[in-house]
Amino acid sequence: MNFLRPILFSGVLATAASLLGVPSPLQAQEPVEITLKTLTAQMKFELNELVISPGAKVKLNFENPDDMPHNVVFCQPGTDVVQLVTKMLEKPEEAMKNNFLPEDPKVWLKSRLLNPHEKQVIEFTAPTKPGNYPYVCSFPGHAATMQGVLRVLGEGPKLQDLKFALYHGDWKNLPDFSTLTPHRTGEVPGNLVQLNFDDYKNQYGLVFTGKLNVPANAEYTFYCASDDGCRITVGEERVLNNDGIHPASIKESKKKLKKGEYPVKIEYFQAAGGAELYVGWKSDAFDTTALSSWTPPNWKKGVEQKTNEFVGMPLEPKDGPLIYRNFIAGTGNRSIGVGFPGGLNFAWSAETMNLSMAWKGAFIDAARHWKNRGGGHQPPAGFDVVRPSDMAPPFAVLDAPGAVWPSFVADQPLEGYAWKGYQLDAKGVPSFNYVWNGVEVEDRLEAKGDFKSGGTLVRTLTLKGKIPEKAFLLLSQKSKLTPADKGFAVQGEKLNLTGTNYPNQLLIRAEGATISGDALLVPARKQIQITYAWPESHPASHTPLAQ
């Protein structure tokens, strides 16, 4: 079901345009072209922020290289996108009929639901009202992590009462202009910094002075690109220094300023060769605003960003399980990550001798640890991350039902436990081995099926030796536990990993499992088998939907 095609702009978007004060799409403008992609098996958009000017014509290339359906829905400022999608799913038959695209007055633009590896071009005119317009994928189960913000930003204040003083001289660095006598002074046409004075090409300097209105207490970014040297002073403070002889490249500096009017001084000198001068500024409340008549290529993008050294090396299990021994966010400092070809993954902790987390989709991005110094904890690359319990040891002897489970203290060895390493079987599946109070324990987890078709993780613990009386295995802790589907539905505390929130819901099945207080326990025995499944959050097969 196609909710938006460029040819239907006047029909579908006219109402939204009138509500938001959007100008006519027939205005003669070159469209701003933006590409928004989904990330494969990560339940995320590639970009979580888009910036455009009010009333701009936009050509949005929406691409879905993922193996699941996705859409993008743009909403009015202040919309709770998760609540929006939840409300839509309260009427599941109607939602499915509409291909999970919400019919809601808060929505002003939406793509169609793209099948895997599909693309769509959407042409629209941006709202004229500046603000943050959230966007989301409204396919069931995706809204929690597939979000972003379209920032509609106007220009900021320009310089006022701009004047210039022109100097003659041969310098390699900016001189102290206050000790020199200007060759000529005057007002600057249009209040824009420029170099069109007396047609001097070499060996001169300029000092611009004016006023700049700072609209609010905030942090501001100042830019300059100069050939040759330039310096910007706001109030009594130097905010950017780009001195010396060099070609023009954009430099930036951030400065916190209080609301009010400030005197501004821009100093510049030209030695020989090319002569260029760009000055600009921006904040969270307005887009990059040129304070000069000349602007360099891509000036709206600011300083060219270095490649993020912590992304770009995804590990993809293909022919069998893939093991990643490194720091994984939320799993302590002795993590062992295991990814299976079907997109089911887990992390096991050699600190707690226990399962730490499990997730679906993409496995892990190794760039953080395999580039440069390799520091920090890397979050899982996939989605639907679950943590059955807090960091805690797996076994304990409890004298009474509901007794407090032993705690784990970071950087201290677990009392009664000894780590014995892990071994791989013929399929490459690891078994983790340790000794607990004289009992040898083998802990093995293997994926059954794949994440697209309701796959599960099956965990088998084998115990050898004399098992203490009243010994239990911890399956879940600090969770809301509800009997469901021959097991227990587990609603854990919200899980936040490096800024991303996960619902932390799973289904656990194990013979003999019982609820004890806020914990799910199973009596220790020679062999224990546990199945971990995710609640069905997507339509069953992820098969392509009719358009």
Kindly give the pairing relationship between strand 57-64 and strand 32-37.
parallel
pLDDT 10s digits, 428-446? 999 999 999 999 999 999 9
Beta strands 471-477 and 395-397, pairing class: antiparallel
Structure tokens at 465: 């030796």
- CA distances (Å), origin 493, targets 112, 388, 504: 34, 10, 7
Phi then psi for residue 26, to 5 deg, are: -85, 0
pTM over 0.85: no
How large is the average pLDDT for residues 365-381? 75
Tokens of 150: 């379209």
How high is the pLDDT of residue 497? 74
The pLDDT score that the predictor gives to residue 101 is 97
State residue 376's pLDDT score.
78
Q: Which of 197, 204, 203, 198 is nearest to 293 (CA)?
A: 197
- Tens-place pLDDT, residues 142-182: 998 899 999 999 999 999 999 999 999 999 999 999 999 99
* Adjacent-strand bridge partners of 498: none
Place 382 in a pLDDT band, splitting at 50, 70 and 90. confident
**Calpha distance 509→522 (Å, rounded):** 10
Which range is most confident: 306-310, 368-372, 387-391, 502-506? 387-391
Reported in sequence order, the residue ranges of 374-494 that DSSP labels E, i.e. its strands, are 383-386, 395-397, 417-424, 430-436, 439-448, 456-464, 471-477, 479-484, 487-492
pLDDT tens string 216-273: 999 999 999 999 999 999 999 999 999 999 999 999 999 999 999 999 999 999 998 8
Judged against a pLDDT cut of 80, whether residue 304 lies above it is answered with no
90 pLDDT tier (thresholds 50, 70, 90): very high
- Region label for 469, one of left (φ > 0), alpha (ψ between -120 and 50) or beta (otherwise): beta
Judge whether 112 and 73 are in contact, CB under 8 Å.
Answer: no
Domains of the chain, first to last: 6-152 (2.60.40.420), 160-301 (2.60.120.1560), 314-533 (2.70.98)
Q: What pLDDT score does 533 carry?
A: 94
Query: What is the residue type of 536?
Result: E
Is 50 buried (19+), middle (13-18) or exposed (0-12) by CB count in 10 A?
Answer: buried
**Residue 355 near residue 459 (C-beta atoms within 8 A):** yes
Q: How far is CA 157 from the centre of its chain?
A: 30
- Is residue 5's pLDDT more than 50? no
